Structure formats: C-alpha cells, structure tokens
C-alpha cells in the first residue's frame, strides 16, 4: 500500500520535511521513495506542493498519513474533516487510581467537601462484626488472674 507522508530532512534543531510517496513498509529514513511531491518547513510554515500529483496518487489508491491528510485539508487540496493524530489518553493504571483517589480525598478534606465514596461511620453492627472476626489470644498470652491475686496476697501477708 502506498502512503503520502512526510520525510524528515535537515539538520539537528533545524527540521525540514519532504512530502513523498512511499511504500508503507519502508522506513522514513531509508530514502527509498517513489516520488517527491513537495517540501514543508515547519519553522517558516512554508509549503511547496505539486497538488496535481497528490490528487493523482490519491486516485491511484495511495493513502495520506494523518498529519499529511490534515495538511492537505488545510491547503484545500482534499476536502473533508481533519483527523485527530494525537495519541489517545490511556486509562489510569491501578496504582495511579489509588494515588488519584488519595489526592482527591486530601483535596476534599482541605476544602471541606464530603465525597460520596467516604466510608460510613462505625455503627454497633460494624463493631460487632469486627469483634467476631478477631483472632482469639493464645492461652499462653492471656494473663492469669489467679497469679496476680497470689502476688498481692503474698506481699500483704509478709510484714517487714
């Protein structure tokens, strides 16, 4: 499939582009293009374009890249709407969701707003459920009340 696209030429920090017809599998830097259709200088916004050849290649079945399509629409060579060539915003990842939720809750606390997602206040039902879920203490860890009573009796029984 043929594409009409921009091929970068020019030096570092001084970009310039060729408008070329190229096989879509070819690398943009390979230099293997079928036909040069014009040039574009982004610093001066200067275009040189052979509109007749562009229309010919489009009629033969070549497709314009997104950026080239938008340029052809703005120059009036092709009629239609411009295409959004910017990347789509990706959904936040799980870690980012948690961080965003924390940031929102902090912001809400500072402004005094109440969020619908805040946890409900503890009720007696919640407290009862939490107590039943606790693990019982091991017998070795529980203090023996009998041992404490013996110590107090011994200390009070021995006069000094």
- For 36-49, how does the pLDDT look when each residue is reduced to its tens digit (9 = 90+)? 999 999 999 999 99
Confidence of residue 143 (pLDDT cuts 50, 70, 90): low
Rounded Cα distance between 16 and 18, Å, is 7
Q: What is the mean pLDDT of the chain?
A: 76
2 and 61 in contact (C-beta within 8 Å)?
yes
18 is a domain residue: yes
- Please name which of 36, 25, 26, 24 lies closest in space to residue 9, comparing C-alpha atoms: 36
50 is a domain residue: yes
Could you give the number of structural domains in the chain? 1
58 is a domain residue: yes
67 is a domain residue: yes
Confidence of residue 21 (pLDDT cuts 50, 70, 90): very high
pLDDT for residue 55: 92
124 is a domain residue: no
48 is a domain residue: yes
Task: Write the CATH number for 40.
Answer: 3.30.1320.10
pLDDT for residue 94: 66
Range of the domain at 29: 2-75
The pLDDT of 140-158, averaged and rounded, is: 56
Confidence of residue 13 (pLDDT cuts 50, 70, 90): very high
pLDDT for residue 124: 53
59 is a domain residue: yes
144 is a domain residue: no
- Please name which of 21, 84, 85 lies closest in space to residue 49, comparing C-alpha atoms: 21
Rounded Cα distance between 64 and 77, Å, is 12
> Is residue 150 helix, strand or coil?
helix
């Amino acid at each position: 499939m043929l594409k009409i696209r921009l091929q970068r030429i020019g030096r570092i920090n001084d970009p310039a582009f060729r408008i070329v017809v190229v096989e879509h599998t070819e690398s943009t830097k390979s230099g293997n293009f079928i036909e040069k259709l014009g040039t574009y200088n982004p610093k001066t916004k200067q275009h040189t374009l052979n509109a007749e050849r562009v229309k010919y290649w489009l009629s033969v079945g070549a497709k314009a890249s997104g950026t080239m399509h938008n340029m052809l629409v703005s120059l009036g060579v092709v009629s239609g709407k411009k295409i959004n060539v910017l990347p789509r915003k990706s959904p936040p990842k799980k870690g980012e969701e948690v961080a965003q939720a924390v940031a929102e809750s902090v912001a809400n606390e500072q402004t005094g707003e109440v969020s619908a997602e805040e946890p409900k206040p503890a009720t007696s039902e919640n407290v009862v459920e939490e107590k039943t879920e606790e693990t019982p203490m091991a017998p070795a860890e529980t203090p023996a009340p009998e041992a404490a009573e013996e110590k107090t009796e011994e200390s009070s029984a021995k006069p000094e």
